[in-house]
Every structure is written in structure tokens, then in C-alpha cells.
Amino acid sequence: MNYDRYPEIKPGRKTIKRIYIAVMLFVVGRAIQAACRVDETVKKEFKNLKDGFAFVLGVHPYGPWMIVGRDAKGRAKYMGWNPEGKKIPLKMSIKNVESAILVFTFQESTAVAFARNRFVVDGDLIDALAVVRVLDLVEVYLLPKLIAALAVKRYPKWSELSPVRKHVGRIVIYTRALLGF
Amino acid sequence: MFLPDYYEFCARVKTVAGHRALDRIPSMLSSLGVARPMIITDRGVSGAGLIKLVSGAMKGSKARVGAVYDEVPPDSEYTIVNAAAKLYRAKKCDSIIAVGGGSVLDTAKGVNILVSLGGANILDYEGAGAVKRKLKPMIAIPTTSGTGSEVTVVAVIADHKKKVKIPFTSYFLLPDIALLDSRMTKTLPPFLTAPTAMDAMTHACEAYYCMAKNPLSDATALMAIRLISANILNVIKKPGDLQGRLDLANGAILAGMAFSNSMVGMVHNLGHATGGACGVPHGVCMSLFLPYGLEYNMHKRAKEIGELLFALAGPEVYAATPVKQRPEKTIEYIRKLNQDLHDATGGRHARFLKEIVDREGRQMVPKEKLADIARTAQGDGAKVYNPEEINYDDAMMVLEYAYDGKPLKRKKIRKG
Amino acid sequence: MQSPNYYEFLGRPKMISGKRALEQIPLELEGYGAGRPLILLQGGAGSRGQADTITKALYDSSLVIGALYDGAIAGSTSGIASELAGLFRARKCDSIIAIGGGALVDVAKCVNMEVAEKKPALGLAGEGKISRELKPMVLVPVALVSGNEAANRAYIDGLACISHFLSPDVVVIDHRMTSTAETRPTLYSGLTALAHAVEAAISVSANPMIDAYAYASLRLLCEHLPAAVKKPSDKKSSVAVANAAALAAIAFSNAPAGMAHYLAEALADGTGIDPGICMGLLVRALLKTRIVEKKGIREELCLALAGPGMFSAAPASGRAKAALGAIDGTFADLGGMMPGSLREIGVTQQRLNEAVREAVKASPSKLSAKECMAVIGRAWNGK
């Protein structure tokens, strides 16, 4: 057998999908920061987290990543894409790019993705669950109902999330997320 | 048979089960290539003479017991894990034999993490996925037919100071061998047999309707329910019935395989929280919340809940019940079973929260604790796998009904 | 339902099935500390596409493919096994991914034995000759035609090696691979799985675990095999049949091979007749014979075949018939693909005696020649 006919293969990268995920992560990260200033529930979730809390969410093993932390006042703060050199107590990684695509194209809700074992959580599970609740809420703000209803288990009723709260919140969150303040 | 778009299933545990399965220990130890196992157990188990049975069975083996740690409390915590790991290292052991109920088995899994991967504090390995490689050989010998911990990927270890139960999840937490011997569960008194067997029953029922269900978790769940349902009352009335004991043990391990792979939902969510906030034993919470878990998820899982009736009540009842009525009948059946167990144990099997008492007869879950439980439940992972969303208000609503055993008002369930 | 006095059971492979399942492979291997697999897939018309699919699925991981062998593998011989073992060593591989079924998977397992035990695989033929964990092996089914792929055995030069170390560590079922199977291999896989699951559940080793695996496997087969055979490219049913085949293999790993298995092997030996078809016909005849001779069929097996609905609808005495009816129904749905008897596929009546003799000789558990004759006769005659 001529072994040279069967060379070593170094698998490449899926650049376009990674860029898409990076953009989504960027928007979601900044949206969390914005939502924390607009939405009472998100604000409360962050208040309850420990001082110095931060989490990184991204794709195993090469990223992209996004980091959100809690500042001294108990507010969410988007801390960029590079986890290196930062002290981050909670790491939530999606096992691979394709699974991340399923999540970020909303073909799989966070709950379904968890049930399908697509996430690896490294850190305090109680904090991780708080993050999942925040992500669900942010999705409700960012996405049209048609899509968000797929992404969360129970789309908040109008009684829970009034139209004014949602639409004004949505506009403010979008503006802040994109402009970054 | 339901085949989901995606699933994973792993139950890589060699099961050795029978009336004299312990006799196989020497060959099991040699197949694992170990010489100095450490026995981890609790005082109750060693007091009942069960460790003697195990060490007696080891006589024909070249392996010698390296150490015995028998101080695992009923509701073990991380400090115990750390202490046992220290002993393991001091005595240069090379493997673990865990003999006991859920608390002992979970503690042993925690010890295995520490002695295999290094470190002094088990809490450093928190999170799903922190344990990423093969651990030391471990044999699990359950003495209750309940938790199924001998075949699950989870170890739940408490932190009493923080009043939480922390789950450690990894495929590497699966023991190498699960050894079921009917002699090991024979001495379990009826008032403990009831909640532990219902614990297993709950695993199987929840596995059948929760979000990661798959063909194998469904099949193992159905077999488990059939075995448990057919034997639970008989064994409680006749504790020495070895065949019934073995059937329950097999039911429990099958239920463990099912829920370890399909995960669990509201019943465990509220159960863990009640255990964490009020110190109620796990099995007691399970049987009590099971009818509520079924009711709460009914609008999303009517078909599955209806199918459970077959395994619970047998083919005759199933065939005689019209399809539409099967889900309600399932719930009715579970409530009736809890009542029967209550009667058969002279009232010691609790049917609702108000009824749970500790050894001194004090009420363990006073009404003002419900808010505490609901809050704790929000930090428990099982809520993720429940078909319907459960937020604080939902949990509070269910707890109030479960407090004095009233069925849920279906209108009050918020449907997503 | 009652537990046996004693049993052992090991369901070794981790099952991963469904959407984007292939992409899970790198992390699974990482869990074993491995990252340089040797990939084997069957050379031929579809191999280019399969090679592309698997390579793309491994993108964005830290894994490096040591070598991807896509040459033709006609049979499992010590020659090809040791050549590929050489390739494995030359590339410093640390794991194996086998994509396909039949001889290819046998070869993959033999390569694994050679590199892990550091001696020719042929020397490890027999039962329990392997002493240690082998290298991590991932099986990606296309069609599991021999029924051994996900089980604890491999063949080399016609000899069987049996050890639970030979079960794959992970079985990854993804429609991108299963839907490339052709009609006949799909049918053979399904019928072999059916026979293996039934024979495991009817054997003396039957236990609650085998019952559970057989239940899942047989329910999937009854519900999906006809659709998969009619349209092998159908995603859902091809995945279902691959699942059923893997689960049957796990049940089969924990029970002695039965009468239908040995008779089918004897009939197929050297005749070019497919053992899968024979097994399907024989296992039906076996159940029918049990009913005719009033020996009965275990309740758990009846349940697995008939499903809870049909099982409950039948009176207790009619459940075995309901089970047989379920097999007949599945065969009928297969339409023209499923022959009605051994006679139709060219087995001569003279062969029957011979086959029974060979089967009795080959089986380590004593098969009754009389019962074998009754079963094979019934299968030969058809209904």
C-alpha cells in the first residue's frame, strides 16, 4: 500500500459561519448591557449576581467569544470578545460551530440546546441559569415574536410584558446595543 | 416510537444483577485490574452487616480493602467528599467500592473526581463538563432501589451552608460496574422502601415526558415503571420477598438509565429545592411532587402521560381506558398509589408537604418556607429540561397546592 | 415480567444520533484524549461525497485527520488489516473513525486490535482474547449489514473475535451518511437487526436491559423499515433504521447468537445468498413454530413487536399472535422487496439438512437439530 496516497488532512475553518456567530454574539452582548438599563427583570438578575461576576459565551475550541460582566454598581457590562487574561468565573461554550449556528439561527432554543447537550458549562450552575434567563429575555426584545416564540419556552404574555414596555424597550435596547452606551 | 431530531444516550456501566451477584466481586475486581479498593459507605449500611457481606464476598480475591470510610451522612456534603478523598490518598487506594443509597454513591463519585484529577476541594469541579477524562475504577452497590445513581452521569452534592445542592455532570461519573444483589436491599424497612422506590418511579415518569427523551430513555423508562409498579406494594407488605426486591432493584437501575439520559423536570426542580431549603429526603419529595409534574406539563405532553398508564396499570386497564382519558387516569393512578403507600406504611409515607415530619415528629416544611423553596428552585438545573417554563410565580403556585395535597387548578397553569 | 436470577449486561457504545451529529466527533475524541483519527470509508461511487462530508464536519476543531483511507475493502483479511495498521502507526494516529458497514468495520476493529495489542489481529481470534482497552473507536453507520458493526465482535479471515472491547465507543448516526445507503443494504441491515433483537429477547440470557434495547430497536424497525427500504435517501427513516440496527447489535452483544443467526450464516456461506434476508425469514418461522408448538413467546418480546397499543388490545392468550402479526405486517409493507420463503431466493431443499448440521456444529450453545429443522422447513415453504 502506498501510504502517500492518504495524506494527513488539517481540517479548515468555516469562516462565514464564524463571522455570523461573532456578529450575533456582539449584538447579544451589547444588548444585555443595554437591557440591564431598561428592563427591571434583567436589572434584578444582575443585582443578585456576585460582585466581580462575569461570563464568557462562545464556541469551543477557537471561539468566537463574548464576555459580559457585572460592574461595581451591579449592572451588566459588555467586556469584548477576547477572554484571554481576564478572570471569568463562568464559561459557557457551545460544542462546535454547527451547533452554535443552530442556536443563533433560532432553530434550537436555549432549552432545547441544553437538552441536546450542546452546551458545556464550566462554573456555578446557579449563575448559568440566571444567564439563560437573561438571554431568553434579551431574545424577546431583539427578535420579532414569530422567531422569539421559537427561541423561548413560553413567550411572555402581554400582561407580563406590556406592549409599551416591549416596543419602547426594544427600540432603546437596539439603539444602545448598536451605539454602545 | 418517538425519535427526536437529535439525542445522546450513554449508559456505559456493566450491570451485574442477581440474588447472589456479590459472589462475582472477585472476578469483577480482577477484570478492573485493581488491588486496593476503598469502601465508601454509611453507618446504617455497615451497622446492618452489609459491609460484612461485601468483604465476605471478597475473600476469594487477590485484592485487599485499602480503607473503609463509613461516615457518609444521609444528606452528604462537599466537606465529606474532601475528607474521604484525603483518606483514599493516605491509604494509597486504587479504586472505589461504594455501598449505600444515593448519598453514598454520589459522595463516592465526588471522591473519584478528586482522587483521579487532583485537588483538595470538590467544589472546584463544579459545572457540566468540568470532568473530562476517565476516572479511577469504581463499583457501585446500591442498598436502596431508588436513586439509580449507580448508572447516572450525575452526582448531586450539597453545600449546607449555602443551602443548595450542586450537580456534577459528566459521562466519566458513570461507575464501571453496578452490582445489584437482592440481599443488599432486603433489610430496608417499608417506610424507606416506599419513598426510594417512588424516587425511581419518578425518574422513569419524568424521563418519559422531559425534553431530552429518546428511544432508549423511553424503552428503559417503560420497563422500569412496569417492574416498579408491579412490585412496590407487595414488597412493602412482604419486605423479605427477594424476587420482588430484585425486580425493584432492576427497575431502579433502568429508571436511572432513562433519566440520566433524558434529564428530569419540574418534580426534581421542586424536589431538589425542597431538599435544599428544608432538608427533606429526596425520595419523599419525588413521590409527592410527581402528580403535580404530570398535571403541570399535561397541555404539552398529554400523549406521553397517557402512554405511561400502560406501564403503570397494565394492558387491561390501558385497553379499557379511552385514549382521551388516559392522561388523567395516569395522574389518578399515581395519587392512588401514594395513598396506598401511605396506608401500607401506617401513615409514614407523606402525600403532601404539610405531612412531612422529621424523626422528632416536627413539621419539616412550614408554609412560610414555600417562598424560600420557590426561590431556590430558580437556581436548580432541572427546570431547563421541563417542557413548560417554570418561573418563581409558577413554582409558588404549585407549591401552595402541593402543601395540602389539592390537585392543581388547570386554569392557573400558564401555557407557553 | 420478572428479573432473572442472575444476569450481566453492558451497553458500551454511547449513542449520538441526529442533526449535526458528525460535528460532535472532535469533542467526543477529545474526551478520550485523542485528536488524530485514522478515518476509514468504503471506496467507490459515493466515497468522494462521504469524505467531503466528514472532513467538513471536523472543521473548526483542534483535531487533525492522520489519514483518510478511501480505498476499496472487499473483505476483512489479515492482509488489509496489517497494511492499515501500518498506516495508522506511520501517521501516529490515536483513534479510528469507521464510516460504513460490513467488512469495512471488521477491518477497522482488526486494525484497532493490531495497534493496541501490538500483534497480528488473527492471533486474537476467539472469545475474550483482548486484554485491554483498545484505541477509541467511532462508528458512523451507513448501513449496518452484518449486524456485528455496533456489537462486540469482528471477523478476520472468516474467524470471529469476540470481546466487549470490540464494541465501538461511540456510534454517531447522521442522515448525511445513512441516507447514502442503497436499498438492498438497508433491507439487509433491517432484517438482521430484527432477527438479532428478537433472538436476544427470546434467548435464555434475556433480561430487563436486553428487553429495553430490543423494545427500542423493534419498535423503530416496525415503524420505519418499510419506508427506509422504499426510499433509502429519506432522512428520518434511514436514521431510524440505523438506530435500530445499532441497538439490536447491543442487545445481541449480551446474548448468545440464536438459531436464526446460525442457520442464516450456514445458508449464506459460499452461496451468495444474503444472510440478512435468510435471518428475517427464519426468525419469523421461529416465532411461528413457537406458537404452533404452543411453546409461547415471552411477554416482553410480544410487547416489543406489537407495541403497547396492539399488545393491550389483544387478549392475554392472543399476544404472541399479535407479535407475529406485527412482523407479517412489516414484511407486507416491504412489498416486493421481501421474498415469501427461502425457496423463492434459490435455496434448494437439499441444502436444508446440510445447513442444520452446520448450524448445530457452529453454535456453542446446543441447538436442537429437530427444532432447527422445523424452523428452516417452515421458512423454506413460506406461509
Alpha-carbon separation of residue B186 from A46, A151, B341 (angstroms) = 50, 49, 18
**Same domain as C365, residue C221:** yes
Phi first, then psi: what are they for A68, rounded to 5°? -125, 135
Cβ contact A121–B416 (<8 Å): no
**Same domain as C195, residue C151:** no
- Show which residues on chain A lie within 8 Å of chain C, measured between beta carbons: 1, 3, 5-14, 18, 59-62, 95-99, 102
**Average pLDDT of the residues of chain B:** 92
| CB proximity under 8 Å: B 240-269 to A | 263
**Same domain as C160, residue C206:** no
C291 by Cβ neighbours in 10 Å (0-12 / 13-18 / 19+) ranks as middle
Phi-psi domain of A37 (left: phi exceeds 0; alpha: psi -120 through 50; beta: other): alpha
Is residue A18 within 8 A of residue A64, CB to CB? The reply is yes
| Number of structural domains chain C divides into | 2
Average pLDDT of the residues in C23-51: 90
Sorted by sequence, the CB contacts under 8 Å of residue B262 that are 6+ apart come out as B207, B208, B210, B211, B212, B213, B214, B217, B218, B221, B385
Q: How far apart are CA A125 and CA C11, in angstroms?
A: 30
- pLDDT for position A158: 53
Chain A residues in contact with B127 by the CB 8 A cut-off are 91, 121-125, 128
Write down the domain spans for chain B. 14-185, 190-412
**Average pLDDT of the residues of chain A:** 86
Helix axes C208-230, C299-313, angle to 10 degrees: 60
Grid cell for residue B307: 402512554
Of the residues C149, C178, C207, the one at which a domain ends? C178
Chain A residues in contact with C55 by the CB 8 A cut-off are 9, 11
Q: Which residue has the higher pLDDT, B395 or C121?
A: B395
- Report the gap between the CA of A59 and the closest CA in chain C (Å): 10
Closest CA to C29 of C58, C9, C70, C8: C58
Q: How far apart are CA B282 and CA B272, in angstroms?
A: 7
- Show which residues on chain A lie within 8 Å of chain B, measured between beta carbons: 91, 111-112, 114-117, 119-126, 128-130, 132, 152-155, 157
Helix axes B326-344, B215-237, angle to 10 degrees: 30
Chain B residues in contact with C5 by the CB 8 A cut-off are 18-19
Chain A residues in contact with B384 by the CB 8 A cut-off are 111, 114-115, 129, 132
CATH of span B14-185: 3.40.50.1970
Nearest Cα residue in chain A from C64: A10
Is residue C154 within 8 A of residue C110, CB to CB? The reply is yes
**Same domain as C346, residue C267:** yes
Alpha-carbon separation of residue B69 from B11, B54, B88, B90, B92 (angstroms) = 27, 14, 9, 12, 14
Query: Does the model's ipTM exceed the 0.85 cut?
Result: yes
B75 by Cβ neighbours in 10 Å (0-12 / 13-18 / 19+) ranks as middle
> C82-132: per-residue pLDDT in tens?
999 999 999 999 999 999 999 999 999 999 999 999 888 898 888 888 888
Residue C2 domain-assigned (yes or no): no
- pLDDT for position C374: 95
Is residue B62 within 8 A of residue B31, CB to CB? The reply is no
Q: How far apart are CA B89 and CA B82, in angstroms?
A: 11
Is residue A26 within 8 A of residue A66, CB to CB? The reply is yes
Phi first, then psi: what are they for C22, rounded to 5°? -60, -35
**Same domain as C277, residue C328:** yes
- pLDDT for position B370: 95
**Same domain as C330, residue C279:** yes
**Same domain as C210, residue C71:** no
Is the pLDDT at B371 greater than 70? The verdict is: yes
Of B20, B133, B307, nearest to C33 by CB-CB distance is: B133
Is residue C152 within 8 A of residue C167, CB to CB? The reply is yes
Cβ contact C86–A61 (<8 Å): no
Of C19, C27, C70, nearest to A96 by CB-CB distance is: C27
Is residue A139 within 8 A of residue A35, CB to CB? The reply is no
Question: What is the longest distance spanned by two Cα atoms in chain C?
Answer: 63
Q: How many CB pairs under 8 A join A and C?
A: 72
- pLDDT for position C340: 92
Kindly state the helix (H) or strand (E) to which residue C356 belongs, with its residue range: helix C349-362
Phi-psi domain of B178 (left: phi exceeds 0; alpha: psi -120 through 50; beta: other): beta
> B103-118: per-residue pLDDT in tens?
999 999 999 999 999 9
Homologous superfamily, domain B190-412: Dehydroquinate synthase-like - alpha domain (1.20.1090.10)
- DSSP, residue by residue, B367-409: GGGHHHHHHHHTT-THHHHSSS---HHHHHHHHHHHHHTPPP-
Q: In what order do the strands lie in the sheet with C153-156?
A: C126-127, C159-162, C153-156
Sorted by sequence, the CB contacts under 8 Å of residue C23 that are 6+ apart come out as A95, A96, A97, A98, A99, C57, C58
**Same domain as C230, residue C192:** yes
Residue C1 domain-assigned (yes or no): no
> B258-282: per-residue pLDDT in tens?
998 988 899 999 999 999 889 898 8
Is the pLDDT at B128 greater than 60? The verdict is: no
**Cβ neighbour number for residue B314 with a 10 Å cutoff:** 14
Residue C267 domain-assigned (yes or no): yes
Cβ of residue C66 closer than 8 Å to a chain A Cβ: yes
- pLDDT for position C318: 93
For A75, half-sphere exposure in the C-beta direction (CA atoms, 13 angstrom radius) is 13
Average pLDDT of the residues in B249-253: 96
Residue C3 domain-assigned (yes or no): no
Is the pLDDT at B54 greater than 70? The verdict is: yes
Is the pLDDT at C199 greater than 80? The verdict is: yes
Cβ contact B416–A126 (<8 Å): no
- pLDDT for position B171: 83
| CB proximity under 8 Å: C 63-92 to B | none
Q: Which residue has the higher pLDDT, A174 or B105?
A: B105
Sort strands A119-122 and A90-94 into parallel, antiparallel or unpaired.
antiparallel
- pLDDT for position A38: 83
Cβ contact B416–A130 (<8 Å): no
Of the residues C156, C178, C200, the one at which a domain ends? C178
Which is it for the CA torsion C269, C274, C279, C284, positive or negative? negative
Of A121, A130, A157, nearest to B127 by CB-CB distance is: A121
- pLDDT for position B82: 95
Grid cell for residue B62: 487477590
**Same domain as C187, residue C174:** no
* Choice among A38-42, B346-350, C100-104 with the minimum mean pLDDT: A38-42
Of A117, A125, A155, nearest to B381 by CB-CB distance is: A125
Cβ contact B166–A125 (<8 Å): yes
Query: Domain residues for C198?
Result: 183-381
Instruction: Return the CATH number at C132.
Output: 3.40.50.1970
Residue C263 domain-assigned (yes or no): yes
Is the pLDDT at A161 greater than 80? The verdict is: no
- Three-class DSSP labels, chain A: CCHHHCCCECCCCCHHHHHHHHHHHHHHHHHHHHHHHHCHHHHHHHHHCCCCCEEEEEECCCCCEEEEEECCCCCEEECCCCCCCCCCCEEEEECCHHHHHHHHCCCCCHHHHHHCCCEEEECCHHHHHHHHHHHHHHHHHHCCHHHHHHHCCCCCCCCCCCHHHHHHHHHHHHHHHHHCC
- pLDDT for position A174: 75
pLDDT confidence tier of residue A159, bands split at 50, 70 and 90: very low
Is residue B115 within 8 A of residue B85, CB to CB? The reply is yes
C358 by Cβ neighbours in 10 Å (0-12 / 13-18 / 19+) ranks as middle
Sorted by sequence, the CB contacts under 8 Å of residue B44 that are 6+ apart come out as none
Strand partners, B95: B37
Average pLDDT of the residues in C201-208: 93
Of the residues C178, C200, C219, the one at which a domain ends? C178
> B299-326: per-residue pLDDT in tens?
999 999 999 999 999 999 999 999 999 9
Residue C7 domain-assigned (yes or no): no
Chain B residues in contact with C223 by the CB 8 A cut-off are 1
Residue C219 domain-assigned (yes or no): yes
Cβ of residue C247 closer than 8 Å to a chain B Cβ: yes
Grid cell for residue B85: 478523598
Among B153, B216, B262, the residue to mutate for chain C (most C Cβ within 10 A): B216
**Same domain as C220, residue C350:** yes
Q: Which residue has the higher pLDDT, A171 or B248?
A: B248
**Same domain as C165, residue C20:** yes
**Same domain as C190, residue C155:** no
Homologous superfamily, domain A14-179: SCP2 sterol-binding domain (3.30.1050.10)
- pLDDT for position C104: 94
- DSSP, residue by residue, C184-236: HHHHHHHHHHHHHHHHHHHSTT--HHHHHHHHHHHHHHHHHHHHHHH-TT-HH
pLDDT confidence tier of residue B159, bands split at 50, 70 and 90: confident
Average pLDDT of the residues in C221-235: 95
Rounded percentage of chain C residues whose pLDDT exceeds 70: 100
